[in-house]
Amino acid sequence: MQRSSQLSYKPLSNYTKLACKTESVFLKLKLMKIVKPVIDFVMDILETVVFIGSLFIVVYLFILTPNQVKGASMENTFHTGDYILTSRVTYKFRKLERGDVIVFKSPKNPDIEYIKRIIGLPGDIINIFDGVVKVNNIQLAEGYIAATTNLWEGGCIQNNVPYTVPSDNIFVMGDNRPRSSDSREFCAVPIDSIIGDVFYRYFPSNVIGVISNPLPKSIR
**DSSP state letter for 184:** H
36, 87, 116, 183: the catalytic one is 116
Give, as one character, the DSSP assignment of residue 218: G
Q: Is 116 assigned a catalytic role? A: yes
Strand partners, 84: 67, 201
Give the three-state DSSP class for 56: helix
Distance between CA atoms of 171 and 124, rounded to whole angstroms? 9
Question: Do the beta carbons of residue 103 and residue 195 sit within 8 Å?
Answer: yes
Q: Residue 41's Cα: distance from chain center in Å?
A: 32
Which string of DSSP letters, residue by residue, matches 23-84? Answer: HHHHHHHHHHHHHHHHHHHHHHHHHHHHHHHHHHHHHHHHTEEEEE--SSTTTTTS-TT-EE
Position 141, amino acid: A
Among residues 8, 28, 70, 73, the one annotated as catalytic is: 73
73 given a catalytic annotation: yes
Three-state DSSP state, 204: coil
Give whole-number Cα distances, 77 to 74, 80, 210, in Å. 6, 10, 12
Q: What are the catalytic residues? A: 73, 116
